[in-house]
Amino acid sequence: TSPVGVSGLPGVIAIAAGSDHSLALKSDGTVWAWGKNTSGQLGDGTKKKRTTPVQVGALTGVTAIAAGGDHSLAVKSDGTVWAWGYNFYGELGDGTTTNRTSPVQTSGLTGVSGIAAGSNHSLAVKSDGTVWAWGNNGVGQLGDGTTTSRTSPVRSGTISGVTNLAAGAHHSLALKSDGTLWAWGFNLYGQVGDGTTTNRLSAVQVAGLSGVSAIAGGAFFSLAATGG
């Protein structure tokens, strides 16, 4: 009920949490994971639960990490995306629906600068400010104007100028360089922020927000910080 240190993890520069697993990125570009592993989301080649961190395969040169419900994502310094774990909806983006216990490269993505992961979908922003998505799309969370799930990345509509991404369980958020926030996907609870509870299959602007500097997605809600 009080914080304890995670064993044997010096030099951590970033962390991410899925439903029941945790990830850490170290300054040497390696990724470490612990927790539930029934779908291979720890990436150590097994499905064995881990109560202390294990290294994610031979993955090196990583600059960013994200954790979905039961899948994991990493961006390497060469701009490629790698993924492992649960893949029923294609959320690993390797063109299959096969779970992976070790990292596989997400198909056809280069120049990626940031990633985010929802329950069963994945997002990437490229250095040109475009957004790409894959995985479950039953409520429009991929933002491509359809409800068709994708096993490989597709562009999220025409949204551009994006600098940062976040994902809720079944919705997606994008922060643009002009400080506006855009969202799409599941909206039953108003998490898209457009003043409605209508699911959105492509990006709509979040009402009444400008100067946004940071964003986050909860399961069924969204957060934004302005200024600073």
Mean pLDDT by 10 residues, the chain (228 residues): 95 98 98 98 98 97 98 98 98 98 98 98 98 98 98 98 98 98 98 98 97 98 92
Residue with tokens 């029941």: 20
Residue 168 has a pLDDT of 98
The string of DSSP letters for 7-72 reads: TT--SEEEEEE-SSEEEEEETTS-EEEEE--TTSTT-SSS---EEEEEE-TT--SEEEEEE-SSEE
Residues forming beta bridges with residue 223, ordered by sequence position: 216
Both tokens of 37, joined, read 């592993």
Work out the percent of the chain whose per-residue pLDDT is above 70: 100
Per-residue model confidence as pLDDT tens digits over 193-227:
999 999 999 999 999 999 999 999 999 999 999 98
Residue 227 has a pLDDT of 85
The angle at the Cα of 187, spanning 131 to 211, to the nearest 5 degrees, equals 55
Per-residue model confidence as pLDDT tens digits over 80-103:
999 999 999 999 999 999 999 999
Cβ pair 141, 184 in contact under 8 A? yes
Residue 21 has a pLDDT of 98
Residue 228 has a pLDDT of 67
Sign, Cα dihedral of 23, 25, 29, 32: negative
Which DSSP category does 90 fall into?
S
The string of DSSP letters for 146-197 reads: S---EEEEEE-TT---EEEEEE-SSEEEEEETTS-EEEEE--TTSTT-SSS-
Torsion of CA 17, 32, 151, 117, to 10 degrees: 20
Both tokens of 211, joined, read 């100067």
Residue 37 has a pLDDT of 98
Work out the percent of the chain whose per-residue pLDDT is above 90: 99
Q: Is 6 helix (H, G, I), strand (E, B) or coil?
A: coil
